[in-house]
Amino acid sequence: MSNTFGEAFRVTTCGESHGAALAAIIDGCPPQIELSEEDIQPLLDRRRPGSTRYGTPRNEADRARIISGVFEGRTTGTPIGIIIENTSQRSQDYSAISRLFRPGHADYTYLAKYGIRDYRGGGRASARETAMRVAAGAVALKVLRVLFNVEVSSCVTAIGPIRASRFDAKAALGNEFNFADPGRIPELKELFRELAKDGDSVGAVVEVRASGVPAGWGSPVFGRLDAVIASALMGINAVKGVEIGDGFAMAAMRGTEARDEISSKGFLSNHSGGILGGISSGQEIRARMALKPTSSILAPGRTLDIDGSEQEIVTRGRHDPCVGIRATPIAEAMVGLALLDAALQQKAQCFAAKPCALVIPPGEG
C-alpha cells in the first residue's frame, strides 16, 4: 500500500533494489506536452549510482524508457509508463546479512509488517526506488516550466559539520558534492578521506527552492501546500527532518521579526518560505530536508539475528558515505510533483473564480 503520490497528478512506483527493473505510472499528465526520454535523463543522471566518486561505486546507467502515454513526441493525456532496468546487481554481497537486522535500516520493521523481507540491498526500502520518483518528477518539472513558468532548483547546504553560507544551485552543479559553497570543497574532501578510513558515514542538509509559483496554490486545511511538500520530502529515504522557510529557527523569533511585512514594492522578507495558511503567496518557495548518515557502514556494530541471538554486523556492499550528495534531484522531483499536483487542483476547483485584483510582488526576501 501507499505506493502512490498525488491526487490530480498521480504517480505510482514499483520495483526493488535488486529486482529486474523499476517502473512508474503517471496518471493525470496534461496532454500535448512535448516529452521524450531526453527530458527525463538529465535529472536521472544527477541521481544515478556512479555519478560521483564520493557516492556508491554501484554504476547503473539508469536509462529511462517511456512505454506509454506519448505519441509523436507529445503526451496524450493517458497514463505515462516509464521503466528503468537494473543492470548492476550484486545480490551476493547481502547473503551474509540475510538473517541479521541491520541497525538503522528497515530490516526489522519490514519483517514485523509483512512477515517477509527482501534483504538484497533493502529491497523496496532501498533508495534505489527513488529513481522512479526522479523520472516522474522530471515529467512534472517539464510541465511546470511549460505551462506555469515555474522553476525548481536545489543544492546541498551542509555535510556533517561543514555548512555553506549561501544557496547557490548553479555553483553546486560544478562540484561532485553538489555543495552550495565551492570554497569549502577542500574541507569536504578531507572529511570524506576520514570517513573512508573509519568505515563511517555522515549526514547532510539539502535545500530546495521553487520560483515563479503564483499566489493561490494549495488548500487551507488538509491539503496545505507546506504540509504536502513536507510529506513529499519526508517520504524520501533517510530524511529525518523538514523545514519550510525558516522552520525551527522561527521558534526563537518574535512576531515582529518573523512576520513577512508588505510594502508597495512587495514582501519585505520570506521567513514563511512562500506559503501562508497552506496557500502559496507568490514568493519563492523554500524548504530544507535533513538526511541521516547511512547505516550501511564498515564499522562493526551490535545487532540481533532472526532467532534473537546477539551478533556483530559489518555491512559490506556498495554504499554512499553521504546519501545527501545524490539527493538533490530527488528533492527537486518531489517538490515538482507536489507543485504540479497543487497547480492542477487549483485549475480544477477555481477555474471560474475571479482572481484577486491585487498581485503582491514577491519582493527581495
pLDDT tens digits along 300-321: 899 999 999 999 988 776 678 9
Residue-number span of the structural domain to which 277 is assigned: 90-350
Whole-number pLDDT of residue 50: 65
Instruction: Give the mean pLDDT of 339-351.
Output: 96
- Average the pLDDT over 55-77 and give the result: 87
Q: Answer whether residue 364 is part of any domain.
A: no
Cα–Cα distance for residue pair 319/128, rounded to 1 Å:
11
Any idea what the CATH number is for the domain that residue 318 is in?
3.60.150.10
Note whether 63 and 171 are within 8 A (CB): no
Per the model's pLDDT, the better-predicted residue between 300 and 64 turns out to be 64
Give Cβ neighbours of residue 33 (< 8 Å, ≥ 6 apart).
Answer: 74, 75, 142, 143, 146, 147
The answer to whether residue 137 is domain-embedded is yes
Question: Rounded mean pLDDT of the chain?
Answer: 92
Q: What is the pLDDT of residue 219?
A: 96
Q: What is the dihedral angle through the alpha carbons of 115, 92, 203, 200, rounded to the nearest 10 degrees?
A: 120
Spatial distance between the Cα atoms of 295 and 173, rounded to a whole number of angstroms: 27
For the chain, how big is the Rg over CA atoms in Å? 21
What pLDDT is attached to residue 299?
84
Fill in the DSSP letter of residue 315.
Answer: -
Which pLDDT belongs to residue 319? 73
Q: Does residue 54 carry a pLDDT above 80? A: no
pLDDT in tens, 153-212: 999 999 999 999 999 999 999 999 999 999 999 999 999 999 999 989 999 999 999 999
Spatial distance between the Cα atoms of 219 and 277, rounded to a whole number of angstroms? 8
Count of structural domains, the chain: 1
What are 210's strand-pairing partners?
152, 285
In this structure, are residues 273 and 244 in contact, taking their beta carbons and an 8 Å threshold? yes
Beta strands in the chain (DSSP E): 4-5, 10-15, 21-27, 64-68, 70-71, 74-75, 80-85, 151-159, 162-163, 204-211, 239-244, 262-263, 266-267, 275-276, 279-280, 285-291, 301-304, 310-313
| C-beta separation of 26 from 141 below 8 A | no
133 inside domain? yes
Query: For the whole model, what pTM was predicted?
Result: 0.93
Q: pLDDT tens across 77-95, in order? A: 999 999 999 886 555 556 7
How do residues 90-119 score in pLDDT, each as one tens digit?
555 567 778 889 888 888 998 899 998 887
Q: Cα(348)–Cα(342) distance, rounded to whole angstroms?
A: 10
pLDDT at residue number 311: 93
232 within domain boundaries: yes
| Structural domain contains residue 24 | no
Q: Does 48 reside within a domain?
A: no
Helices (H) and strands (E) in the chain, counts: 8, 18
Torsion of Cα atoms, 345 then 346 then 352 then 354, to 10°:
170
Residue 253 forms part of a structural domain: yes
Please give the grid coordinates belonging to residue 23: 517502473
Q: Report the pLDDT averaged over residues 331-344.
A: 98
Assess whether pLDDT exceeds 80 at residue 235.
yes
* 20 inside domain: no
